[in-house]
């Protein structure tokens, strides 16, 4: 047999024997019928507390936290006069447009695309929080001037009708550029 190992010895028996000695009197040293792993720690912690003291409080689960957060935010939304969920009036907030390089065509020609970054509706901002922006892209254009025209149209659409109008215009621009999808 290996050094220090006895016949019939199972690994972990020392720990079981030690935990049995550490238990308060009245608990058996071996396994009992109906015994579950981890009960020793539960029994020890329950008996180690003086009578009259409550068990340590547990932190809230994530689902409880989200439920309470939803109620707080719902109360804030009810006080709004315009009735919109954080979106505000059309064109409220700041939109930023830019022209970016598009994907080169198969023959190697360069393309450009207009992008507009608009504030995301329905988001409640906290102090110091970076504003959440949506990026809406126009179609790829063979000339930079066409992409700049698209950027101007997207910006004016945002000022006129908000994100809904920008998305409608994007669909029109894609159809005009031959990228309409279903209607072709």
- Nearest-CA neighbor of 121 among 147, 82, 152, 153? 82
pLDDT tops 60 at residue 69: no
Q: In the predicted model, what is the mean pLDDT of residues 28-37? A: 54
The conformational region for residue 100 under phi > 0 = left, psi -120 to 50 = alpha, else beta, is beta
The rounded mean pLDDT for the chain is: 71
**pLDDT tens profile 112-165:** 999 999 998 888 878 888 888 999 999 999 999 999 999 999 999 999 999 999
**Tokens at residue 25, please?**
């009197």
Q: What distance in Å separates the CA atoms of residue 78 and residue 92, rounded to the nearest whole number?
A: 20
Q: In the predicted model, what is the mean pLDDT of residues 1-9? A: 55
Beta partners for 37? Answer: none
Overall pTM > 0.95: no
Q: Return the percentage of the chain with pLDDT > 70, whole number.
A: 47
- Nearest-CA neighbor of 135 among 101, 167, 179? 167
Q: What distance in Å separates the CA atoms of residue 152 and residue 52, rounded to the nearest whole number?
A: 71
């Amino acid at each position: 047999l290996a050094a220090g190992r006895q016949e019939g010895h199972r690994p972990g028996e020392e720990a079981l024997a030690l935990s049995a000695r550490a238990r308060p009197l009245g608990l058996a040293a071996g396994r009992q019928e109906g015994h579950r792993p981890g009960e020793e720690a539960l029994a020890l912690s329950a008996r180690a507390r003086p009578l009259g003291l409550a068990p340590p409080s547990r932190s809230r689960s994530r689902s409880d936290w989200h439920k309470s957060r939803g109620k707080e935010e719902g109360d804030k939304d009810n006080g709004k006069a315009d009735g919109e969920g954080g979106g505000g009036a059309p064109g409220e907030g700041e939109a930023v447009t830019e022209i970016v390089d598009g994907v080169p065509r198969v023959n190697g020609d360069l393309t450009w695309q207009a992008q507009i970054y608009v504030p995301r509706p329905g988001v409640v901002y906290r102090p110091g929080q970076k504003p959440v922006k949506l990026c809406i892209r126009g179609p790829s254009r063979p000339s930079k001037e066409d992409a700049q025209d698209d950027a101007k149209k997207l910006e004016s659409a945002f000022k006129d009708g908000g994100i809904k109008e920008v998305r409608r215009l994007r669909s029109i621009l894609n159809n005009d550029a031959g990228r309409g999808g279903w209607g072709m």
